[in-house]
Homo-oligomer: A and B are copies of this chain.
Amino acid sequence: MNQDWNERFLNDFEALSANGATSGGGVERQAASGGDLKNRQWFEELLKELGATVTYDEIGNQFGLFEFDPALPFVGLGSHLDSQPLAGRYDGAYGVLAGAHAAARLAERINSTGEKPLRNLVVINWFNEEGSRFAPSMMGSSVFSGKLELQTALQSTDLAGTTVKEAIAQAAWGPVKTAPEISEYAEIHVEQGKELEKSGNQIGLVTATWGARKFQLTVKGEQGHTGSTLMADRKDALFGASLVIASVRRLTDNYQPGELQASVLQLTLEPNSPVTIAREVKFNVDLRSPSSEVLESAQQELDSIILAAEDESKTSILKEQTHHWDLNPYPRDGVELSRQVVEELGISHQEIFTVAGHDSTNMKDLVSTVMLFVPSKDGISHNEAEYTSPEDCLAGVKVFTEVAAKLIFS
């Protein structure tokens, strides 16, 4: 029976990966875009086959309800099916499918043994975890957990000016119902780092999220003619931006490897004409560290970087902080519960931090939460080459099923 489920998991994962597949072996399923829409439809059908009832909430979170007793609250098993552009197959998608299979295995167990669970199960595909098309990331779980206003989220626009509200209306997901009441939450995800690969352990017990400081910078210069504006008269916003981008990256050389990640990733410029000096450039700055002291010091250095860039480029640079959190621990009871499971199953494991944010980052502030990792080959993620072996995928589903079992039976 387990053998069948394992085979079926790998087959389902192949089928899932065909939705929004790219020629490079990855997927492109940005939130509410073509690949995501197709995949959500596919997943709705899978959930129904597995015995779930499917509903949505107003921000587009997709729920697969396995209701054993209408009087009981739900244990949530979730992650996200949306992806970055030209992304890998595993990020988010692995965890959602693992949740669906864990729930179906447990429903089968309940059906055959007659054992009475103390919780129902709901498989959750959170809307727009990636945030590449619509900011902010982790949108669906942020609205669910009350950290983001529904109306604010619905008004977020992509670079083409389409709002989340319009994108969701077009998708016409239904039925839209009040989200189920969730009493515990569990998520499994690919590590997107190299720690498990290095140690050879198959499961990571996530104990905390790295701290982060995120900013939106706007460089204001002056539009002018490329050829005829003298160098001394220029207020070139793209030059100002390039000075900051180069310095932000070099900033990490001042720290030990693994102490600070600093990145600039998204940038827009006006007017973006080949013969006109840019009047305005906007870009994000993303600082991450397990240490609040490192983040504070990096943020101060960022201010110095900005002053120097303003001075050299004769521009003015506005800095707006968009996100701010320090090292953020996961609930200890969740870590201990999953440690008990991996010890019982005899699966190699270790405690681990996550640098990336996950929907569980929101859920853990609401309810008792478990977060698990499986290994990522070479730590590659947000890239078509992302890979986790079938053996590691299946070990993860096995552990995740038993974690869910502990959550509904005790």
Q: Point out residues on A near B: beta carbons under 8 Å.
A: 84-87, 130-132, 135, 137, 159, 191-194, 210, 212, 222-233, 236, 238-239, 241-243, 245-246, 249, 252, 257-258, 260-279, 284, 286, 288, 354-357, 379-384
Contact = CB atoms under 8 A, between A and B. Distances in A.
- Determine which residue in A227, A265, A270, A276 has the highest number of CB atoms from chain B within 10 A of its CB, and name it: A227
Given A226-B261, A226-B265, A84 B357 contact: no
A228 B271 contact: no
B274 A265 contact: yes
SS class, residues of chain A in contact with chain B? loop
Contacts of A288: 226-227
B271 A269 contact: no
B279 A274 contact: no
A278 B265 CA distance: 6
A314 B251 CA distance: 17
Nearest to A286: B226
Contacts of A239: 245-246, 249, 264
7 contacts: A130-B273, A131-B275, A192-B227, A225-B381, A227-B357, A242-B246, A268-B272
A220 to B, nearest CB: 13
A145 B355 CA distance: 58
A354 B356 CA distance: 53
Given A192-B227, A227-B355, A239-B249, 18 more contacts: A84-B276, A86-B223, A132-B275, A224-B382, A224-B383, A225-B383, A226-B288, A226-B382, A227-B261, A228-B261, A228-B354, A229-B261, A230-B257, A231-B261, A236-B263, A239-B246, A277-B382, A279-B383
Contacts of A233: 379
Nearest to A232: B257
Contacts of A135: 274
A379 B229 contact: yes
A228 B275 contact: no
Contacts of A278: 265
A39 to B, nearest CB: 18
A266 B272 contact: yes
Contacts of A272: 159, 265-268
Contact of A242 (B242, B257, B265): B242
A382 B276 contact: yes
Please list the 9 inter-chain residue pairs (A to B) with the smallest Cβ-Cβ separation, ordered nearest first: A132-B273, A85-B271, A242-B245, A227-B355, A242-B242, A192-B228, A225-B381, A225-B382, A228-B355
Given A227-B356, A228-B356, A242-B245, A130 B261 contact: no
B273 A249 contact: no
- Determine which residue in A191, A223, A252 has the highest number of CB atoms from chain B within 10 A of its CB, and name it: A223
Contacts of A266: 272-274
Contacts of A262: 231
